[in-house]
C-alpha cells in the first residue's frame, strides 16, 4: 500500500474528467489496472498545461521522465462510471517532482484508486537528470498556492 491517505476532493488543484471507453475494460468487465495509470498520465499532462510548465507542443523532449509509480486499487471502475482524476504536486526535490493523485467517481466522490508518481527532470540531449528549472518551481508554487514548494531538500 502507498503512504497516500484518503483525501477530500478539494485538496487537488487540478482535475481531469475521464471517459471510460469499452476498450478500457478487461475480461472481468472492469477497467484494467494499466489503463488507470494511463488515466493518471492524461491528468498529469493536463496539470503541466494548466500550471504553465508545458505548452503542449511535442518537441525533442519535454524534460521529465517517470521514476516511480505507486498505486492502490480500491474499487473497480466499470463502463459507464463517471471518473475524474485529481492531481497535485506533493513535493519538489532538487531534481524530482512527487505527484499525488486520486481517481474517483465524479458523482459521489467514491475513491477508485490513489497513489503517487515520481517524475525526474531530465535533459534528453545529455541523457541525464537535471535540476528542476526555477521557472517550473515558480509556476507550480503559484498554481498550487504553496510557496513551500519553492524551497527544496
When pLDDT is averaged across residues 36-43 and rounded to a whole number, the result is: 97
CA 91 to chain centre: 13
Residue with cell 465524479: 106
69 touches 117 (CB < 8 A): yes
Higher pLDDT, 81 or 1: 81
d(CA 67, CA 85): 20
- 87-139 confidence digits (pLDDT tens): 999 999 999 999 999 999 999 989 999 999 999 999 988 899 999 999 999 99
Instruction: Convert the pLDDT of each residue in 54-93 to its tens digit.
Output: 988 777 666 899 999 999 999 999 999 999 999 999 999 9
Task: Please give the domain boundaries of the chain with CATH numbers for all domains.
Answer: 9-150 (3.10.129.10)
Longest dimension (CA), the chain: 47
Evaluated on CA atoms 133, 136, 142, 144, the torsion sign reads: negative
Contacts of 52 (CB under 8 A, 6+ apart): 139, 143
Amino acid at each position: 500500500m502507498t503512504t497516500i491517505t484518503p483525501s477530500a476532493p478539494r485538496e487537488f488543484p487540478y482535475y481531469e474528467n475521464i471517459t471510460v471507453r469499452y476498450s478500457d475494460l478487461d475480461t472481468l468487465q472492469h477497467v484494467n489496472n494499466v489503463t488507470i495509470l494511463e488515466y493518471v498520465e492524461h491528468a498529469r499532462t493536463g496539470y503541466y498545461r494548466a500550471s504553465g510548465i508545458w505548452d503542449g507542443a511535442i518537441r525533442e523532449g519535454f524534460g521529465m521522465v517517470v521514476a516511480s509509480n505507486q498505486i492502490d486499487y480500491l474499487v473497480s471502475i466499470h463502463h459507464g462510471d463517471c471518473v475524474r482524476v485529481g492531481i497535485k504536486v506533493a513535493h519538489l526535490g532538487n531534481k524530482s517532482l512527487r505527484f499525488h493523485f486520486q481517481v474517483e467517481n465524479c458523482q459521489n466522490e467514491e475513491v477508485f484508486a490513489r497513489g503517487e508518481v515520481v517524475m525526474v527532470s531530465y535533459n534528453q540531449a545529455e541523457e541525464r537528470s537535471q535540476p528542476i528549472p526555477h521557472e517550473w518551481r515558480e509556476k507550480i508554487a503559484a498554481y498550487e498556492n504553496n510557496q513551500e514548494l519553492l524551497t527544496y531538500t
